[in-house]
Amino acid sequence: MAEQAVRPSSSDRPSARWRTVDIVVTAVLGVAFGIVFWAWGLLWAALDAVFTAFPPGQAVMYGVWLVPAVLAPLVVRKPGAALFAELIAATVSAMLGSSWGTLVLVYGLLQGLAGEVGFAAFRYRRFGWPQALLAALCAGVMAAALDLVNYYPDWTGGWKTTYLLLVAASTTLVAGLGGVALTRALAASGALSSFAAGRTRV
């Protein structure tokens, strides 16, 4: 039974059925990035003073928080992987003491759902860099919108637009291209031998 759970399928065509290994790997990615999220939040707070003159500029740091929403679907190639990984990561960061409290759970949920769009638009049949970039962009726009509603409602229209564009750019580059690069690195190491991502180039 365990052997069946990790054995590569005879076809690289994605299936909506989750195997045990899919669940475990997605959860591990979520936990690992939850720790990264928590640490990144500390760095974000420490650098607040650097962006005092122009707060929207801090958005260039945003992309790290969206990596699981791109990386997990590229690896496991299952509907719901972006949501699962991003929500797990948000939960772990909240448990570790995120300065944003339990609101990060809402962020994880909505950012994960937005990340799904990039792959759902292609009916979960393609998992390459175009899908990764679209997923990252959608997740980034969602994140920026949440921030502007929850934290920066009093900003001017110019600042809000700049923040949105910078978050979108950061997430597209860091989460989108970064997610592709991480997937390729994991595949090259042999860690993805149980996945289609380990046998086909992303």
pLDDT value at residue 78: 96
Q: Is 91 part of any domain?
A: yes
Cβ–Cβ under 8 Å, residues 77 and 49 = no
pLDDT value at residue 59: 97
Q: Is 5 part of any domain?
A: no
Q: Is 7 part of any domain?
A: no
Count the alpha carbons within 13 Å of 138 in the hemisphere toward its beta carbon. Answer: 22
The total of structural domains in the chain comes to 1
CB count in 10 Å sphere of residue 128: 14
pLDDT value at residue 13: 55
pLDDT value at residue 14: 60
The distance from CA 6 to its chain's CA centroid, rounded to whole angstroms, is: 24
pLDDT value at residue 7: 44
What one-letter code names the amino acid at 144? A
- Domain housing 157: 18-198
Q: Is 144 part of any domain?
A: yes
Distance, CA of 68 to CA of 197 (rounded, Å) = 15
Q: Is 31 part of any domain?
A: yes
pLDDT value at residue 199: 77
Q: Is 42 part of any domain?
A: yes
Alpha-carbon dihedral of residues 41, 45, 47, 51, nearest 10 degrees?
110
pLDDT value at residue 30: 98
* Tens place of pLDDT per residue across the chain (202 aa): 344 444 444 344 567 899 999 999 999 999 999 999 999 999 999 999 999 999 999 999 999 999 999 999 999 999 999 999 999 999 999 999 999 999 999 999 999 999 999 999 999 999 999 999 999 999 999 999 999 999 999 999 999 999 999 999 999 999 999 999 999 999 999 988 888 887 776 6
pLDDT value at residue 71: 98
Q: Is 99 part of any domain?
A: yes
Q: Is 64 part of any domain?
A: yes
